Amino acid sequence: MKRGNIEIKAKCPNLIRIQEILQARSATFMGVDYQIDTYFKTSKGKLKLREAILPFEDGLMHYERGDKHGPKFSDITVFQTPNQDVLKQILLKSFDVQNIIQKKRVLFVIDNVRFHLDSVVNLGDFIEIEAQDTDGLLGKNVLRKQCNYYMTLLKINKNDLIAHSYSDLLLNNEKSKHRKNKKNK
């Protein structure tokens, strides 16, 4: 399945406050998920295998997205299979693993907009807003307006916006630690 979306990711100092605002707006609670994202080294875009408890959240995903703060377009292709264990073994034999991200995700939806309240191991708490165009009828301008509307509603501070994926954030943290350890020797 191929889809496009406009999304933001931001540090979130108070996930409970965000959840309360979404519930007051009658957002549909989709569940709590525990996810393991295995990122593979690729020459283009990001390739990750998501293992999740919620069946609509797992699968193999390839996406390309610019690294910028604020709403950005993602071109995403998702492949879901009933036999994810075999797929994982094939991928592990074929590609080098870049890193593994573990997170708890609380998921809400309002119309075509998904809200991910994420607690990511070794990174902290984040919110993602994804305005999705699954059938190609909305267009980027509508999606961008939706994303900006919810950023304002949820009082997301522009200084908290994140340009990179969790995978990139973890890699940057590891590089920083490595540099600090080299200096201290």
| Per-residue pLDDT tens listing for the chain (185 residues) | 566 789 999 999 999 999 999 999 999 999 999 999 999 999 988 999 999 988 788 899 998 877 767 787 888 888 988 888 899 999 999 999 999 999 999 999 999 999 999 999 999 999 999 998 877 778 889 999 999 999 999 999 999 999 888 998 998 877 666 566 666 66
pTM: 0.86
Q: Which residues pair with 42 in a beta bridge?
A: none
Domain ranges within the chain, ordered by starting residue: 2-184
Contacts with 39 (C-beta within 8 Å, 6 or more apart), sequence order: 46, 47, 48, 97, 98, 99, 100, 101, 165, 167
Cβ 129 vs Cβ 113: under 8 Å: yes
> What is the Cα 163 distance to its own chain's centre?
11
CATH of region 2-184: 2.40.320.10
